[in-house]
A and B are shown apart, each in its own frame.
Chain A
């Protein structure tokens, strides 16, 4: 039930924003997040954006896996 999906912010209108993923567009409440702008990605749960996605951290996570090497743990 804590299922939440990454969605891209299109337009911000006060306490709400239009977000999209694939062909799905939704209006969600963004009151819990400060400093949002169009183009940001957010995690959406039950009609609310609960957290912003940090693009740099996402890349770091993938880089760590790429660089995993058994001889250099």
Chain B
């Protein structure tokens, strides 16, 4: 398929791998990827095995499902128990554990939970079920935020009154800053997320190069993209800057129209991340003029941004999300915690680091 096959060319992969080995002049280099699709494809294509041993790729908090707090899931579960509520959600959220149970387990009992592909599908569910209240679980990073904002605008235009959004939308650059400050990680640079950057633009990471002296490269998701991204990081490691490898999709300033739509509906707020705690200005809340769609206001819930502890089962997801542990270093990994019986969110989501390690290692 166009724009996929040519970026998987074996000869070019071998060539890049050789150039990376030449460019890696020092040992103990730590790069973090903060996109679950990067983590997934690095392991799926065995790209880490093509790197010299001195380069370590650390998986960061790149999966919105994994960083959703227990508190958020508990609120979704509370609403799911109401007889007149239908929960509409992306499929990955079903199995994420709250403090007692998950949406999947509740669905098997009485809860009405529908899996949708797009926030626009939730509008259709609302139109088809006028006597029910539809709650869409609005989870995602900047890639997904404009799609949810446009759905809210569409619902307003169509005067839909039985659709509400429970928001745990998050912004990636503030989380990267939190990680850049963590000296334990000894980061040298970031492989920046391609599709988040399609919306926010490559220049959104400039502060990481200027303030924290970290090399940053926005990269696409095919093997050649990821390897070229790592090559650029190595080549420019001593001259912190933002490099854009994924220029076929990402521009310096991003998709301005998408950004306008985002901030028409949402305002920046502090937000709780599973494993990382509350990060200032790292989340989005629905603006007052759209409060008729805000589940927290309509159902009188506490703001869903409080961090909560891990379940008492020795789950190490919080350290995995921070990049302090690799998944196999968790005592539960592949023993008690597996994709068929996940104990933590990083094993549940397809984009979770534990899930990717389990599948491909």
Provide the bound-state CA to CA distance between A13 and B145, in Å.
Answer: 24
Q: Is the CB of B147 within 8 A of A33?
A: no
User: Which residues from B are CB-within-8-Å of A70?
Assistant: 18-19, 22
| B147-A46 in contact (CB<8A) | yes
On chain B, the number of residues with a Cβ less than 8 Å from chain A's Cβ atoms is 55
Q: Which of B181-202 contact A (CB under 8 A)?
A: 193-196, 198-199
CB-CB under 8 A from B255, the residues of chain A are 32-33, 50-51
A45's partner among B121, B143, B351 (CB-CB below 8 A) is B143
The DSSP consensus for interface residues of chain B is helix
In the bound complex, residues from chain A placing their C-beta under 8 Å from that of B195 are: 2-4, 43, 45, 50
Chain A CB within 8 A of B37 CB: yes
Highest count of chain B CB atoms <10 Å: which of A4, A8, A46, A54:
A46
User: Given contacts A6-B2, A6-B4, A68-B19, are A48 and B147 in contact (CB under 8 A)?
Assistant: yes
Other-chain residue from A1, A41, A64, A68 in contact with B2 (beta carbon distance below 8 A): A41
Q: Beyond A6-B3, A41-B3, A43-B198, is A29–B37 a contact (Cβ under 8 Å)?
A: no
Question: Could you tell me the distance between the alpha carbons of A8 and B225 in the complex, rounded to whole angstroms?
Answer: 20
A34 touches B248 (CB 8 A): no
Minimal beta-carbon separation of A50 from chain B (angstroms): 6
B86 within 8 A of A: no
Q: 7 closest pairs, A vs B, by CB?
A: A47-B118, A58-B248, A2-B143, A6-B3, A51-B198, A57-B248, A57-B247
Can you list 29 pairs linking A and B with CB atoms under 8 Å apart?
A: A1-B92, A1-B143, A1-B351, A2-B36, A2-B37, A2-B143, A2-B194, A2-B195, A4-B195, A6-B3, A31-B257, A32-B146, A41-B2, A43-B249, A45-B147, A45-B195, A46-B90, A46-B117, A46-B119, A46-B140, A47-B121, A51-B199, A55-B248, A58-B248, A61-B228, A62-B12, A65-B224, A68-B15, A70-B18
